Structure 1
């Protein structure tokens, strides 16, 4: 029973990180929810179950899902835990015939990072809490066909020093690069 409660909590955390809000105007929510936002679409319920099992109870550090085509027929999801990178690509047209699968690799498969920031360090505004502003990075892993791409504000709210999940992931991956 305890494991089941933990797994449900982890699926709710994934929901939050993916931005599944029940708001019918949110584009990812439109595909993941049905019945006026009252229940999960079958593909999304299966995906959540698959991701929770693939995460094996590890702390979720980062999770993002996005449509990769204009028709919004293909979804890509990355989940990063303390020790794993989990990737899934779901073709919503074919989903009725197959269940989502997750590709799991160790974070130690990290090969390279390409980082970019939005704010200059030499501007007066950078002396406060605004620097480095927006951050983006690509992380290349052995075992993944394409890099994990993430972007967002460095901090959760302007004027705070609370790192966003994107910045926390970048800092963690930077530390992973130096591990042997």
Structure 2
């Protein structure tokens, strides 16, 4: 099979995307660790819970929303429980499943952490772009996501922000999580 090599324009785009994929997680993680004592993944899980009905999800649903394995999420959930930010309990509808719920301390942590996180996301990503480029970025990432997530496993996480603006005075999970 012949390799369909990248042309110069494609290579320039790919190398830059790869650099962003390598650098941005560290920038997000460093700020959250410094200012909130959380990893970006922990914050993202808390943010998703904060916008879920009754601020509760099945562990399998949270794993899908964060693109995590259940063992990784269980480890993170234990850490969040140790910090008093979440609690796990048997699912009332299915005793084989486990639910995870944000505690009052978890809600406070998300609210307190969101402003610094949003400033960081703006500084390093959003404010570097014009409004037209932000729209283009959405279209570009949608096209890539259709290839990476054809079953739309994570689509509920990012599609909920497509039609309605965030409520005034309240950050959305997308804002909180930097998406």
Verify same fold: TM over 0.5: no
TM-score by length of 1: 0.24
Structure ranking higher on relative contact order (CA contacts 8 Å, 6+ apart): 2
Q: Which has the higher strand share?
A: 1
